[in-house]
Structure 1
Amino acid sequence: MHKALIAALAALLTVPATGMLMSSTAFAAPLCDKLGFAGLLAKCNRGEPIELTLASGKPLGAGEVKLQSGAYYELKITADGSAELAISGPEFFRAIWMNEIVINGIEVRPMAIDSLEFDKAGLATLSFIAIKPGSYEVRIPNTASDSQKIKIAIQ
């Protein structure tokens, strides 16, 4: 029975002219093969940290950020205290699994967030696993400049 099911599935996925299997959408895998006990949070599955700066009149970040679905990342947001500023990106925050947010050594494990606001200088570190492929935007609310937003693509 299993052999017949596998043969039928292979026949459905075969391109008639070439006899080769059709390729489906790109498969996004974690960054390493040996995840071990920690699973997706394993050290070998961690991407480069993403650093953003909240400062009055200064760019939020540099260029577009590309993330791998299934990989673990840290987003470090530093506010210099020059103005009361927030960062917003509800679509992006819904496309990730949030592990924790660390603010002044206090760990918060939220289900979801829409934004973070800094009333004075400080650092917030968000650790997460990128999940849903797509293009997203994280920005300082109520701003129009391209330097006040950053594009994040999850592949």
Structure 2
Amino acid sequence: MKPVRLAAGLVAGLALPAPGAAAPLCDDLGFAGLLAGCNKMDLPPLTLSAGKPIADGPLGLSSGVYYRLDIIADGTQELGLVGPDFFRAIWVDEVIVNDIEVRPMGLHSIEFDRAGTLRLTFIAIKPGQYELKIPGSTGETQRVDITIR
């Protein structure tokens, strides 16, 4: 009888969220699941410009939340962002460039040859510390630190 109680207790414990576990922004996601409108959040835009910082500060994300991130290049220099670890820690819904929607299986990096805006929509999945940075750069203002909790 004791093994049955122990097994039942373990199964019941699996259904409880871990302390401090991330959760969606709303309780009633409905049929849309994590893509529900109440679970979407806009992030401050990232800027690609010669001699200017990419972001005002680090980004804090929650696992299970759907985000919209605009990346804006002003065309002063050919610039890109690389962040393979970050891109593997998220589920990319779509990348929108000039009103063209692309739904990739994944990303490694992006690059702007001239001025433009890219919108990245995604769900943060894997908790951890990540970065997006301009390839080959070492300055702190040439990267943005991202934490997924």
CA contact (8 A) 1:54 1:80 kept: yes
Q: CA RMSD in A?
A: 1.9
Does residue 99 of the first structure (1) align with residue 93 of the second (2)? yes
Q: CA deviation at 1:25?
A: 5.5
Q: CA deviation at 1:47?
A: 2.2
Q: CA deviation at 1:49?
A: 2.1
Counterpart of 1:109 in structure 2 is 103
Structure 1: state its 5+ residue gaps: 14-22
Please give the per-residue CA displacement for 1:46-104, whole angstroms capped at 9, x wherever unaligned.
12323100000100001111001000001100000000000111100000000000000
Counterpart of 2:32 in structure 1 is 38
Alignment size in residue pairs: 142
Please give the per-residue CA displacement for 1:97-151, whole angstroms capped at 9, x wherever unaligned.
0000000000000011111000000000000000000000101111111000000
Give the whole-Å Cα distance in 2 for the aligned partners of 1:75 and 1:127: 6
2:129 pairs with 124, 135, 139, which one? 135
Overall identity of the aligned pairs, in %: 52
Amino acid at match of 2:21: F
Give the whole-Å Cα distance in 1 for the aligned partners of 2:19 and 2:56: 29
Give the whole-Å Cα distance in 2 for the aligned partners of 1:78 and 1:99: 19
TM-score, L = length of structure 2: 0.89
Counterpart of 1:74 in structure 2 is 68
Superposed, 1:45-60 pairs within 5 Å as 45-60=39-54
CA contact (8 A) 1:35 1:42 kept: yes
Please tell me whether Structure 1 or Structure 2 has the larger radius of gyration of its CA atoms.
Answer: 1
Comparing 126-135 with 45-54, which one deviates more in the overlay? 45-54
